[in-house]
Structure 1
């Protein structure tokens, strides 16, 4: 049995791990590598022949885990893509959105290149038809239901929180008569996160491939999500009679936020305030959450039994069309605007920023990670002037952030996930999906407790 870490090796994005068992090739995740953003076409350069992969197992829908699947299909992969039912539905939404993003970027780049007298035009990484081909290959499997890939390999999905449908992958392998087990964590969620269930413990395994995104970092614990929201809304919308803009990823983060606001307003902890959710994808993905209501946590289900729909309340409006989105600028009462994209790179959020970044009575609350180089990162860094929609604009709005909506487990959560395994039984831990310092912090903590830890180099193979 051979394992090769082809993506998310000593970096966060581009998860892609190849497991070979008796000449049967299993690809766990096939994510977009954002490190290649300056040359998105580099994601075509698979270090293996896509047509030789027998099956893909997808841990969850986020683009850094699913976003290169249509390229894999376009370049010859003909097998099944195994995932949970919510992952299949959310991945379709995200992949279709990726096509729109690619086309917009290519249009801008080609327009710029024509101005520079370039004769060639760039093409998007994949198109809608490739996404359709990809979705048609998806076969869904429920949690904790063993599924036999072939006579030698059995797959089980274990729920890990993080996102609706997100799963760790546990493979039980007959390797030339010897039974071996290996688990891939995907992304590990947090306990007591809005809407989602806590991560379920993994069964004992011989090998573990673990994410390390928040290695060495700890989430704030001095306040609850509701306390932070109440304080921020009270100051921005009640005391200052202004508006609160919350950039949020449409899938996962927005649902957690809307549910938290629903709890606050339905309990009378704040007076009614108009809330706009301005993201068609958020509306579509919320329907997926409603469809798979049985996978939500017990608190959300109890809320539903007592008070009704977790994602609907008085004064909440889901904004569908662009005309209605632009009309929000003419709403002069205090309000909360939730819009994507979370890092402010495109999407309707840019219109709201353009209209409000110079408004002293506007607060922008970041509830998610912003990568270096993004507009969100520059605002969080405190840049006094930023570039929005072809214009340099001074920043007069108040900028705030909280990490309480992060759906990633922190250092303790990650280490404790590994510690569910006995060090004398677990033969090796491979750390992926993290920056160097995060991986090293996690490795040091595990070394101290007797675990054998490897921080793999990209495309280096290990015999298990």
Structure 2
């Protein structure tokens, strides 16, 4: 069999891996590569014929793994898309949201250039619906036969509701071979989500490496960090705390953590606004698949009620209500998307607060290079919003305690569950080159054979 890494090769976004058997082609993930300003143009063509793909297997719903599926369908893919039930539900939300982002970008560029419209959307709502029609859902730990020679099993990996490692068992010329794709590896004891499961013995692993060489903070707990930040931002001083958060996954974990803090009386009441319709829809999906949440979350629900509802919390629905939040003059917490500040209602809140000395912006997730979030984190004194250059007077803070990715130790331990003498190869993807190198060095030191592929490199397995 032949493996080609077509995405997330020495970068974080755009996961897409092609596994070719003698007469059967499997695509694992089909994500958007958005690390360039021209990402829509970069994603509209594939380095293979989409109609040649027999099946797509999706590790999880995040847009850097799922976001180019409608383009694949639009350009001729006619097979099934396999995923866990929560992944299918969340993917539909994210793909429809991507359509809105594409159209928004086109509209903004059209207004800014009298004789030139913005880039054409990669796909429209019709293409998303066509894509969703191709989904077939499979439960965790249930082996599913693709044909007489190939079967797939999903192993829960935390990170996001429904996220899975993909384990393929393949009869390749009368020889059984097993290959695992980790997707994104979660971390232990993450709010709401289960711990990552163990990957069974395989011959090859394609592993993410986002946090290679990096370690999550251990000097404080998430609860203590949130209490400290809220106290400084909203209680000691009558200010506001703005938290850019991905609508799906990060927002639910954050809301549950705040619920526990305020229900326990660890802080005086502070109004909290979740300003993201997408987050509201995603929260309903978390409720729908509540049996897949971790034991702590299920115990909380059975003893105290809904993890995602409490007195101080309001879900903002329409645009008019969102604008009214900007006129709320009491101390408050605003949770809004998008997490990297690229579009969404968060930009409205930034526009009105970036020059507010009494505003704190707390980043709780990764911001890719080139994004507005990354520019703020690196300390740019001026940012451009709504065609205006604005001075940054708000306090900029960051914590990795809500990162959904496992750190260096988590990644190493994921691989170390395999016998180094029997594991034939580890391929590192989904990480910056320095992170990949750090993880590779650690794994080589443990006796593993590790490769950092270039985009388009072919490996005979």
TM-score by length of 2: 0.98
Instruction: Give the secondary structure class of the aligned counterpart of 1:34.
Output: coil
Distance in 2, matches of 1:328 and 1:387, equals 22
Aligned residue in 1 for 2:101: 101
SS for the counterpart of 1:61 is coil
Mind listing any 5+ residue stretches in structure 2 that lack a counterpart?
A: none
Residue in structure 2 matched with residue 2 of structure 1 by the alignment: 2
Q: Which runs of 5+ in 1 are unaligned?
A: none
After superposition, the Cα gap between the structure-2 partners of 1:394 and 1:401, relative to the gap in structure 1 and judged at 3 Å, is same
Matched, 1:280 2:277: yes
CA contact (8 A) 1:36 1:43 kept: no
SS of residue in 1 equivalent to 2:306 = coil
**Contact 2:108–2:118 (Cα < 8 Å) also in 1:** no
CA offset at residue 39 of structure 1? 4.8
Segments of 4+ in structure 1 off by > 6 A?
none
Distance of 1:182 and 1:36 partners within structure 2: 31
| Displacement after TM superposition at 1:45 (Å) | 2.0
Alpha-carbon distance between aligned partners in 2 of 1:383 and 1:258, rounded to the nearest angstrom = 29
- Deviation at residue 392 of structure 1 after TM alignment: 1.9
Answering whether residue 142 of structure 2 is matched by residue 142 of structure 1, we say: no
Q: Does 1:66 align with 2:63?
A: no
- Residue 410 of structure 1 aligns with which residue? 407
Question: Would you say the 8 A contact 1:439–1:455 is kept in 2?
Answer: yes
Shift of the alpha carbon at 1:216?
Answer: 0.9
1:460 shift after superposition: 1.5
Show the counterpart of 1:129. 126
Question: For residues 13-41 of structure 1, what are the alpha-carbon distances to aligned partners after superposition, in whole Å with 9 as ceiling and x for unaligned?
Answer: 11111111231110000011113441512
In structure 1, the residue matched to 2:38 is: 38
CA–CA separation in structure 1 for the residues paired with 2:330 and 2:54: 57
Further displaced range: 379-388 or 412-421: 379-388
User: Which residue in 2 is equivalent to 1:452?
Assistant: 449
Whether the aligned pair in 2 keeps the contact of 1:143 and 1:158 (CA below 8 Å) is yes
Query: Is 1:431 matched with 2:438?
Result: no
Contact 1:110 1:122 in 2 (8 A): no
Distance 1:91 1:443, change over 3 A: same
Q: 1:265 aligns with which of 253, 262, 266?
A: 262
Shift of 1:172: 0.7
What is the CA deviation profile of residues 275-316 of structure 1, one whole-angstrom value per residue up to 9, with x for unaligned ones? Answer: 100000000000000000001001111111111000000021
The alpha carbon displacement at 1:121 in A equals 6.5
Give the Cα separation in 1 of the matches to 2:410 and 2:232.
33
Q: Structure 2 residue aligned with 1:299, among 290, 296, 300?
A: 296
Q: CA RMSD in A?
A: 1.2
Q: 1:215 aligns with which of 179, 200, 212?
A: 212
Checking the alignment, whether the CA contact within 8 Å between 1:10 and 1:433 is kept in structure 2 is yes
Cα offsets for 1:47-102 (capped at 9, x unmatched)? 11111110000000001100010000000000000000000010000000111111
Q: Tell me the equivalent position of 2:316.
A: 319
In structure 2, distance between residues paired with 1:36 and 1:126: 19
From 225, 244, 248, give the equivalent of 2:241: 244
**Count of aligned pairs between the two proteins:** 461
Deviates more, 1:356-365 or 1:302-311: 356-365
Distance 1:420 1:155 in 2: 19
* 2-structure distance, mates of 1:343, 1:291: 27
| Greater Cα offset, 371-380 or 258-267 | 371-380
